[in-house]
Amino acid sequence: MCNKINRAVKLREKMTNTDAKRVFFSEADGIPGFIADLYNGLLVVQVNTLGAEKLKPVLTEALIREVKPSIVYEKSISPSRKKEGLEQSEGVLWPKGAEVKPVIITENGLKFEVNVKSGTKTGFYLDQRDARGKLKDYIKEGARVLDCFCYTGAFSVYAKHFGAGSVTGVDISEKGLKTAEANMKLNNFDNYEFIKEDVFEFLRKQVLKKEKYDVIILDPPPFSKTKSEKEGAMSGHKELHVSALKLLNRGGIMMSFSCSHSVRGQELMENAYTAAEDAKCEIEPAGVFEQASDHPYKKNIPETFYLKGIAVKKTAA
């Protein structure tokens, strides 16, 4: 077990553009149900299986030796624990009595506040790091950007960094939006707004108003966690795609993501083309994305390859 921890940590050492990374990723690193994320010295572990629960003390000690964190915090609140006969577990593992506060991380020179207690999952979507960096290929100076399901505003911050004139972020989470505001201020950006609203409803209103954007980012929560839910998930993606394509200026870019392992990247692209027919416009591929390198995957374990993304360019109305 300790050798697996050591190997996983070593594989991430080459990542020097951030002080926040996933240092262990479940089956992909050889221990099902065990996840560990490092946020500038704060190590957050997530234990989702009975087997990993029994190994937790040994794995935690190994991680302390390897990454030398200041605090180790457990956030094992996944519904999968109930299936394993485990209660939810959250709190400081090491050192006992330590106080956990929001931490500031740096990613590609940009700063973000991470609250591991109130944040979704372990606090920040580390898996989208590479896709955020690709925004530089799509943002032109002064661009108007719409960031849907923006959560704590990471894509929005990158958009401003790459020269966007204005950014609008939309999410239903009030806590997430407060952190998004904080992240913009941390990086000294202006000309942005964050709106608390259901994204589907917001997009419908924007279409009626005939608003236009140069770049639209669609990064929704998982619509499908099982194959039986896939049809409904693709319907949800299509509605988002149709609205976004109607709102794009000619030459504009739509980035769209799915974090459901049952949805393939090719299916997401095909969905966008079907949506383009309904939106009465023409598009062409402009990029594909997958989870960042600190979230490795194994081809024989489909669940480990869950994040797919596409970019399309609107070539004609």
Q: At 47, which amino acid appears?
A: V
Q: How far apart are the first and last CA of the chain?
A: 56
On whether the pTM is more than 0.85, the answer is yes
pLDDT band at 219 (very low <50, low <70, confident <90, very high): very high
Chain mean pLDDT for the chain: 96
Q: How many residues does the chain have?
A: 317
CATH code, domain with 191: 3.40.50.150
Over residues 63-79, the pLDDT tens digits come to: 999 999 999 999 999 99
Q: Domain range holding 24? A: 2-103
Confidence of residue 13 (pLDDT cuts 50, 70, 90): very high
Over residues 89-112, the pLDDT tens digits come to 999 999 999 999 999 999 999 999
Say whether both 135 and 243 belong to one domain: yes
> At which of 72, 103, 134 does a domain end?
103
Do 261 and 211 belong together in one domain?
A: yes
136-170 pLDDT, tens digit per residue, is 999 999 999 999 999 999 999 999 999 999 999 99
| Model pLDDT, residue 232 | 86
Residues 65 and 95 in one domain: yes
Are the C-beta atoms of residues 313 and 248 closer than 8 Å to each other? no
The DSSP H or E segment spanning 235 is helix 230-247
Task: Look at the chain and report how many structural domains it folds into.
Answer: 2
178 and 132 in one domain?
yes
Assess whether 66 and 146 both reside in one domain: no
Mean pLDDT of 34-57: 98
Are residues 161 and 281 both part of a single domain?
yes
CATH code of residue 8: 3.30.750.80
Query: Each residue of 232-280: pLDDT tens digit?
Result: 899 999 999 999 999 999 999 999 999 998 999 999 999 999 999 999 9
Whether pLDDT at 228 is above 80: no
pLDDT band at 227 (very low <50, low <70, confident <90, very high): low
Q: How confident is the model at residue 224 (pLDDT cuts 50, 70, 90)?
A: low
Strands (E), the chain: 20-25, 34-39, 42-47, 71-76, 89-94, 103-107, 110-114, 144-148, 166-171, 192-196, 213-218, 248-258, 282-290, 308-316
| Domain match, 166 and 232 both | yes
